[in-house]
Amino acid sequence: MRKRLLLITGIIIVLCAVGVAIYIATMLITRGGEGKNGGASDQAKVTPVTVCTSDVIARASSAIGANDLSGLSAVSNEVTAIGKYKNDANCEYIMVRYYLASGQAEKAGEAIDQLQRVLSAGGAYSTEFNPPAVNIADLRGSLAALKAQQKAGTQQISGDELNKVDEQK
C-alpha cells in the first residue's frame, strides 16, 4: 500500500513538473521572454523607416510655423494614407503636432508613445523641420498642458503655445 502511494505521488509530481516546463517554454517562445509588456520585446517590434518625404516635412513645417491647423490637418491626412508611417519618426512627429494642435489628447499620448519607441529603436528626426522638431519631454509637457486646459474647459492648445517650445530650442 505504501509503495503504491509513493508511486502515485511520484507520478503526480512528474506530471506537474512537465506541465510547468511546457508552460514556461510556451511563454518564452510566444512572448520573446519579456512578458506581455516587456520593453525589449516592444522595441524589437519597431523597425524605423523613412516614408515621409522632404515635401511632406516642408509642408508640415510651414503649417506648424504658421499655426495653420487646416494645413496641418491636410498633411496629417496625407501621412495617415502612407503605409508604415507609424515607424517613421518624422511622420509620427507630424501626427503628434496635429493631435496636440487639434486638442486630441488621447491620440497625442498614443502618438508620443509610438514616437518614443521609434526614436529608442534608432529612428531620428529630419533636420529639415523648420521650426526644428522638439524632444519627447517637450511634447509630453505640451500634452500635459493640453490636458490641463481641457480639464479647465479649453479644447485645444494654441499654435503659439506649441511654437514657444520650438523657439526655446
Is a pLDDT exceeding 50 seen at residue 38?
A: no
How many domains, the chain?
Answer: 2
Q: Are residues 74 and 27 in the same domain?
A: no
Which has the closest alpha carbon to 111: 133, 124, 94, 126? 94
Q: Residue 46 falls within a domain, yes or no?
A: no
What is the distance, to the nearest Å, from the Cα of residue 160 to the centroid of all Cα atoms in its chain?
25
Q: Are residues 31 and 101 in the same domain?
A: no
C-alpha cell at 166: 520650438
- Reported as a single tens digit per residue, the pLDDT across 78-121 is 999 987 899 999 999 999 999 999 999 999 999 999 999 999 99
Residue 146 CA to residue 151 CA, distance in Å, equals 9
Q: Residue 49 falls within a domain, yes or no?
A: no
C-alpha cell at 79: 501621412
Are 83 and 138 a contacting pair, CB within 8 Å? no
Q: 19: domain range? A: 2-36
Q: What DSSP designation does 52 have? A: S
Q: Are residues 25 and 58 in the same domain?
A: no
> How high does pLDDT run on average in the chain?
84
- Reported as a single tens digit per residue, the pLDDT across 57-76 is 999 999 999 999 999 999 99
